[in-house]
C-alpha cells in the first residue's frame, strides 16, 4: 500500500504542545502565519488521516491543544478520555457533530469553533460543479479522450449528455446553501421546487420557489439535491422507499452529509435504474475505502469531500486558528508558568521557529 506522509513542524521547545490535525491538503503552513505561536509552543502539523481511534490517541496523547478540520477526525468520549493532557480543543466551522462537545467541556476542556467564511458559497458552487459534471458526462468524456478516443462509448453505462433547462430540480433543505443552489438553478432556467420538515409556503415563495411535499419532489424532479443538517430527524431522509419513487433519469446529489441517505442501499438502487445517477461529495467513511463499489460505479460522479475546500475558506480557518491559539497560549503560559520559568524564545538563541522541520511516514 502506498505510504502516506505525515508532516510535523516542530518549533522551539516549550511547555505547551499543540497539534494541528487533518491538514490533508498540506496548506496550513501557507494559509496562515504561525511564527508567533511557534515561539510559544511546540506546534506539529499532521497531514495524513489517522488510521483508527487508537492511532489518533497514540499520536495525540501528549498534546495540550488539538485543532481539527471540520469532521475529518471523530472525537467521541472514548477518544477524549484517553487524552490526559488535553486542555483546548478547536475545530473549524461553527458546528461539529463528530466531537462530543458536552463531554469535553465536562472534563474542563475549552472547546470552540471558527467562523465559516465563504464555505457556504463554496459548497453551493461545488454542488453545481457535480451537477454539471454528471449531466454533461464530463468525467467519462475526459477519460476517453485521455485514452486516445474522441467520444465516450454510448452504451447503457455512459448515456449521452443531457440538458437541464426547462426541467425540474428539487432542493431538500432551503437554508444558506440550499437557497444558493436554488438561485443558480433559476439562472439555468430550471423549475425549482423545495421541501424540508420546517419549510413553509411563505418561506419558499419569498425566493420564487414552490414548496411541495417530499414524495412529489422525489418523484418528479430531474435533479434532487440535499442540503440538510444531519440529525435524528433527517437521518436517512432518502432511503429505499424514496429511491423507488425517483425518475429513471434522476440525478441524486449529496454534498451535505452521507447520513442523509442510505449509502449502501444506493448501490442496489442505481443498479435497478432509480435514480439514474448519483453525484456524491460525502461518504459514510472518510476517506472512503479504496475498494468501495461507489468509487468505480459507472453511474456515480464523486469527489473526496471538497465542498468547503477552497483557498479563501482555508485561509480564514487557519488564520483564525493561529490567532486563537496564540492568544490562548499566552494566557495559559502567563497563568501557569513558574516565576521566572517562562520567557518567549528569542532569535538570539540561534533557534528559529521553523528551525526543525521533519517529515515522517505513516502506513
Could you tell me how many residues make up the chain?
A: 363
Query: Please, are residues 253 and 223 in contact by the beta-carbon 8 Å criterion?
Result: yes
Tell me which H or E stretch contains 318: helix 311-336
> Exactly one of 88, 168, 257, 277 is catalytic; which is it?
257
Q: Which one, of 26, 25, 29, 27, lies nearest residue 10 by Cα?
A: 29
Give the CA diameter of the chain.
76
Burial class (CB within 10 angstroms; exposed 0-12, middle 13-18, buried 19+) of 60: buried
Instruction: Give how far Cα 239 sits from Cα of 125, 262, 319, 343, Å.
Output: 26, 5, 40, 59
Taking the C-alpha atoms of residue 6 and residue 29, their distance in angstroms, rounded to an integer, is 14
User: Is there a catalytic annotation at residue 305?
Assistant: yes
User: Is there a catalytic annotation at residue 168?
Assistant: no
Query: Please, are residues 333 and 36 in contact by the beta-carbon 8 Å criterion?
Result: no
Taking the C-alpha atoms of residue 22 and residue 209, their distance in angstroms, rounded to an integer, is 38
Q: Are strands 210-211 and 191-195 parallel, antiparallel or unpaired?
A: parallel
Cell of 322: 493561529
Which residue shows C-alpha cell 499543540?
18
Q: Are strands 210-211 and 110-112 parallel, antiparallel or unpaired?
A: unpaired
The per-residue DSSP string of 245-276 comes to HS-TT-EEEE-S-GGGB-HHHHHHHHHHTSSS
> Exactly one of 78, 286, 357, 359 is catalytic; which is it?
286
Can you give the three-state secondary structure of 189-249, one letter per residue?
A: CCEEEEECCCCCHHHHHCCCCEECCHHHHHHHCCEEEECCCCCCCCCCCECHHHHHHCCCC
Give rounded-to-5 percent helix, strand, coil for the chain.
Answer: 35, 20, 45
**Catalytically active residues, by annotation:** 257, 286, 305
Amino acid at each position: 500500500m502506498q505510504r502516506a506522509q505525515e508532516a510535523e513542524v516542530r518549533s522551539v521547545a516549550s511547555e505547551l504542545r499543540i497539534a494541528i490535525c487533518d491538514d490533508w491538503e498540506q496548506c496550513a503552513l501557507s494559509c496562515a502565519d504561525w511564527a508567533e505561536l511557534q515561539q510559544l509552543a511546540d506546534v506539529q502539523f499532521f497531514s495524513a488521516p489517522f488510521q483508527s481511534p487508537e492511532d489518533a490517541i497514540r499520536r495525540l496523547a501528549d498534546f495540550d491543544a488539538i485543532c481539527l478540520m471540520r469532521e475529518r477526525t471523530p472525537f467521541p468520549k472514548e477518544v477524549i478520555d484517553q487524552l490526559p493532557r488535553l486542555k483546548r480543543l478547536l475545530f473549524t466551522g461553527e458546528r461539529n457533530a463528530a466531537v462530543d462537545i458536552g463531554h469535553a467541556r465536562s472534563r474542563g476542556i475549552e472547546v470552540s469553533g471558527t467562523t465559516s467564511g465563504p464555505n457556504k458559497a463554496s459548497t453551493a458552487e461545488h454542488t453545481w460543479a457535480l451537477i454539471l459534471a454528471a449531466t454533461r458526462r464530463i468525467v467519462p468524456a475526459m477519460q476517453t479522450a485521455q485514452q486516445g478516443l474522441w467520444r465516450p462509448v454510448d452504451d447503457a453505462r455512459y448515456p449521452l449528455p443531457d440538458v437541464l433547462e426547462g426541467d425540474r430540480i428539487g432542493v431538500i433543505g432551503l437554508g444558506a446553501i440550499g437557497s444558493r443552489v436554488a438561485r443558480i438553478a433559476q439562472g439555468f432556467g430550471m423549475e425549482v421546487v423545495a421541501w424540508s420538515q420546517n419549510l413553509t409556503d411563505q418561506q419558499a415563495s419569498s425566493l420564487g420557489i414552490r414548496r411541495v411535499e417530499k414524495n412529489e419532489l422525489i418523484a418528479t424532479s430531474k435533479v434532487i439535491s440535499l442540503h440538510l443538517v444531519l440529525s435524528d430527524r433527517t437521518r436517512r431522509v432518502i432511503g429505499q422507499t424514496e429511491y423507488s419513487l425517483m425518475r429513471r433519469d434522476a440525478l441524486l446529489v449529496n454534498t451535505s452529509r452521507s447520513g442523509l441517505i442510505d449509502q449502501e442501499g444506493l448501490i442496489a438502487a442505481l443498479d435497478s435504474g432509480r435514480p439514474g445517477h448519483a453525484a456524491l461529495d460525502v461518504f459514510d467513511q472518510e476517506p472512503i475505502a479504496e475498494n468501495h463499489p461507489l468509487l468505480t460505479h459507472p453511474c456515480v460522479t464523486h469527489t473526496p469531500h471538497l465542498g468547503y475546500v477552497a483557498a479563501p475558506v482555508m485561509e480564514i480557518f487557519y488564520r483564525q486558528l493561529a490567532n486563537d491559539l496564540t492568544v490562548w497560549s499566552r494566557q495559559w503560559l502567563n497563568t501557569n508558568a513558574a516565576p521566572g520559568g517562562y520567557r518567549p524564545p528569542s532569535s538570539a538563541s540561534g533557534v528559529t521557529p521553523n528551525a526543525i522541520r521533519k517529515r515522517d511516514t505513516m502506513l
